[in-house]
Structure 1
Amino acid sequence: MMSSDTTSSYFLFYLVFYGFLAGMFTLTMWVMLQTLDDYTPKYRDRVADPEYNESAQDKNEQCPEGVYFEQDGVQEKKVCRFKRSLLRQCSGLADSMFGYSEGQPCILVKMNRVIGLRPRGDPHIICGAKRELPLQMQYFPSEGRLDKTRICPPVVAVKLLLAEEDYNSELVIECQVEGSDLRTTMTVTSS
């Protein structure tokens, strides 16, 4: 049988011991969290793009064309302005059906954002149908080039110029973003 002094000394020892372990765990978590940047997402593959809002675009920066919008020393990053009118015929402004009612549908191709990636070379979009005959297409903006200075994340509209024999049939269209350090493909089915 243990005396009350022995029991209380065991209780005090384990209270101090587990209190020390909890304090050590809390300290290591605090030190680890101090190394994380508040402006860099922790799960970079799960960053959702904000919804597009035309009126909010006026608050964004007018970025210079043809150069990267470098913001290395700034904590809170600014966003480049993107107006839907850049997508011309595929903007949805003049035709809310995006060309589907005329048999010339527009497909919006968006490259996934990779934080910190600056593609080398001149990345561009190439689309084609998986069939024997070539398919006519138009690219907006600027011939399928991904203009990183105006579009974030890069968006390109591809207008399919279908022939009448293509109507009411399923077509498999494959669009690839090509660049010297990009390895991404995307397949879109249009019917």
Structure 2
Amino acid sequence: MAKDGEKGQWKEFIWNPRTREFLGRTASSWGLILLFYLVFYIFLAGLFALTMYVMLQTLDDHKPTWQDRLATPGMVIRPKADETFEIVYTVQNTESWDSYTQILDKFLAPYNDSIQAQKNAECTPDQYFLQEDSGDVKNNPKRSCQFNRTILGECSGIDKRYYGYQDGKPCIIIKLNRVIGMLPGNNGQAPYVTCGAKREDSDKIGELAYYPPNGTFNLMYYPYYGKKAQVNYSQPLVAVKFLNITHNEDVNIECKINANNIPEGSERDKFAGRVSFKLRINSNN
């Protein structure tokens, strides 16, 4: 009997035909609760939308309002087949280095002289290409300077189709990470790249050739104003050609940026202002 009474109480709680209550509330009571939560959540959604609208009014479509700018920008190399930063191949085995040359072909395609002439301007070398806004009037889109592929000389892939890989004298392309507004040099001194072997491999690296001469990033490519402000921006590059590196041995190499206003990176960040990689050229000779 007790179980039947409990069952009857549950049925009456779900629906009470005498008071016409569902789950303990009448239809009008449920309607008022639903109306309250509907109005409440509409208010919250409206408050959120208003907050987002006000916040978005403070943002610039072409430049971040706030930047956690790195004191020392990172550097990367091409070709880079994976995250190991190793370039290993055999001179006589075309398949072992063909992928590297294809990566360089694809990477340098936007730097073809004809494409650069269509998209970018001829700038005055050795000085910053400043394009400041005029008060509230934005000077957008901003122009960009030409970086022609031919600047890379023997590492351009034009005269020497395979970037020296077939001769055991490979080229490596280096670029400095983009930082909005960075002026990398004081008193007209352009930043430049130097490469060298780690201490244990210092006698293996041999002679190097840099393109452009002295491995410089010309000042005319700075400052960078952002992807939306400079849609055609062509990042300057430096090519390093290894002319007589020791074959059949691992050579650990480090390249770094040198500038009179960029501090050296710390040992804890291997990408701050430098890049390290292993180069091994195998040869049957």
The normalised TM-score by structure 2 is: 0.59
Map Cα deviations across residues 29-65 of structure 1 (whole Å, 9 max, x no partner): 12222222222369999xxx99625232112111111
Alignment of structure 1 residues 172-183 onto 2, 5 Å = 172-179=252-259, 180-182=261-263, 183=265
**How many angstroms apart in 1 are the aligned matches of 2:159 and 2:129?**
31
CA contact (8 A) 1:128 1:135 kept: no
Query: Which of the residues 38, 52, 61 maps onto 2:61?
Result: 38
**Alpha-carbon distance between aligned partners in 2 of 1:110 and 1:126, rounded to the nearest angstrom:** 12
Q: Which amino acid aligns with 2:262?
A: D
Q: Residues 112 and 81 from structure 1, CA distance in 2 versus in 1: closer, same or farther, beyond 3 angstroms?
A: same
Higher relative contact order (CA 8 A, sep 6+): 2
What SS does structure 1 have at the residue aligned with 2:110? coil
Hey, what's the Cα distance between the residues in 2 that align with 1:89 and 1:132? Answer: 24
Q: TM-score, normalised by structure 1?
A: 0.85
Letter in 2 for 1:70: L
CA distance in 1 between partners of 2:157 and 2:237 (Å): 14
Shift of 1:186: 0.5
1:133-157 Cα offsets, whole Å, 9 max, x none, are: 2621111112111113259423101
Which consecutive unaligned segments of at least 5 residues does structure 2 have? 1-23, 70-106, 134-138, 223-233, 266-272, 281-285
Equivalent residue for 1:8?
31
Aligned alpha-carbon RMSD (Å)? 2.7
Rounded Cα–Cα distance in structure 1 between residues aligned with 2:159 and 2:126: 28
Which one has the largest radius of gyration?
2
CA distance in 1, matches of 2:68, 2:167: 39
Amino acid aligned to 2:132: D
Residue 66 of structure 1, aligned match among 101, 114, 126: 126
Question: What is the rounded CA distance, in whole Å, between the counterparts of 2:141 and 2:148 in structure 1?
Answer: 22
Aligned with residue 104 of structure 1, among 166, 169, 173: 169
Secondary structure at 1:172 match in 2: strand
Aligned to 2:270: none
Aligned residue pairs: how many? Answer: 186
Give, in whole Å, the separation in 1 of the partners of 2:238 and 2:35.
Answer: 68
Deviations 1:12-44 (A, max 9, x none): 222111100011011111222222222236999
Give, as a single letter, the amino acid of the residue that structure 2 aligns with 1:181.
I
Closer/same/farther in 2, CA of residues 124 and 67 from structure 1, 3 Å limit: same
- For 1:141, give the aligned amino acid: P
Say if 1:181 and 1:56 are closer, same or farther in 2 by CA, change over 3 A: same
Q: Report deviation, 1:120.
A: 2.7
Q: Which runs of 4+ in 1 moved over 4 A?
A: 41-45
Aligned sequence identity (%): 38
